[in-house]
Every structure is written in C-alpha cells, then in structure tokens.
C-alpha cells in the first residue's frame, strides 16, 4: 500500500489554460521556456520572434489534461502528460499552468 500511495502522490494535477486559451504550452525544457519568455517580454520584433518560437518549440496540450509533476522550482514544473493525445510527453510549464 505504501508504494501505491507514493505513486499517487505525484498524480492528481491537471493543466490550466489562461486568458481564454484552450491549450497550455509545454516546453521541452526550462532553458527553452526561459529563452522564449524573455524574448516575448521584450516586445517589438524580439517579442514576435519569441511568440513564433514558442509556437514552433512548445507542444500545445489541452486544458484540463491530467499530468504528473516530476519536479518543481520557483518558475514552474517539469511534468509528464498522463492522458489524451499528448500522453507520454514530458516538458516544462509555468507555475500558473498547473492545478
């Protein structure tokens, strides 16, 4: 029973989309997340490049998709998608994208 309890401890989370979006961007790793968010925050041409890069690099996963949190830090979570069309992918999401 202890093993089952530990296995379930990382489960029970889901992705949460914001701002009218129906999907959440899952980045391949934290470095990609930070690099693209930095470009987007600059605005202008760099912001456009950051937005385009995010759409090419990040996988779009449906709102409410169940995930497993693998690890966390101050900015976000390393996750694995447990169900849906993107089942099995892992990546990095911002803290506000996980419930």
pLDDT tens-digit profile of 51-94?
A: 565 677 899 999 999 999 999 999 999 999 999 999 999 999 99
| pTM for the whole structure | 0.80
pLDDT score of 54: 67
For the chain, what is the HEC assignment?
CHHHHHHHHCCCEEECCCCCCCEEEEECCHHHHHHHHHHHHHCHHHHHHHHHHHHHHCEEEECCCEEEEEEECCCEEEEEECCCCCCCCEEEEEHHHEC
Higher pLDDT, 58 or 39: 58
DSSP 27: B
Residue 35, φ and ψ in degrees, nearest 5: -60, -45
């Amino acid at each position: 029973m202890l093993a089952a309890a530990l296995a379930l401890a990382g489960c029970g989370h889901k992705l949460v989309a914001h701002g009218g979006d129906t999907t959440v961007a899952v980045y391949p790793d934290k470095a990609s997340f930070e690099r693209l968010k930095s470009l987007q925050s600059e605005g202008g041409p760099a912001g456009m490049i950051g937005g385009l890069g995010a759409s090419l690099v990040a996988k779009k996963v449906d709102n409410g998709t169940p995930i497993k949190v693998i690890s966390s830090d101050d900015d976000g979570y390393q996750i694995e998608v447990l169900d849906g069309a993107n089942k099995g992918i892992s990546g990095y999401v911002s803290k506000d994208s996980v419930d």
